[in-house]
Every structure is written in structure tokens, then in C-alpha cells.
Amino acid sequence: MRDFHLLLSLLYHKGAKMSLEFILILILSAWVGVNEWRLERIEKKLKND
């Protein structure tokens, strides 16, 4: 998640507008974050069993 914030600030400082690419990056990074969270939950469940 830290890399995403770095990317966001980099885009912001370069004066990037809310372009299609920026929105796609935002959606993709959110999707990856959710998948990582799901994987962590599954791993914890498996360890507890």
C-alpha cells in the first residue's frame, strides 16, 4: 500500500489530471489491495484449523 501512496504523490506532483489512466491505476491498486486482504484472512483461517 505504501508503493501506491508513493505513486499517487508522484502523479500529483507532476500535475496529472484525473485521466483515464489515473482512474485505472486507482481501481487496479484497490483491487490488488482487497485481494491481498482476502489472502491474509484465508491464511489465518488455515493456520487456526
Q: What is the pLDDT of residues 6-28, one digit of tens each?
A: 777 776 666 556 677 888 888 99
- Give the tens place of pLDDT for each residue, 27-38: 999 999 999 999
The answer to whether the pTM exceeds 0.85 is: no
16 in the Ramachandran plot: left (φ > 0), alpha (ψ -120 to 50) or beta? beta
Which pLDDT score is estimated for 1? 57
2, pLDDT greater than 60: yes
Q: How many Cα atoms sit within 13 Å of 1 on the Cβ side?
A: 7
Which pLDDT score is estimated for 28? 93
CA distance 30 to 17: 19
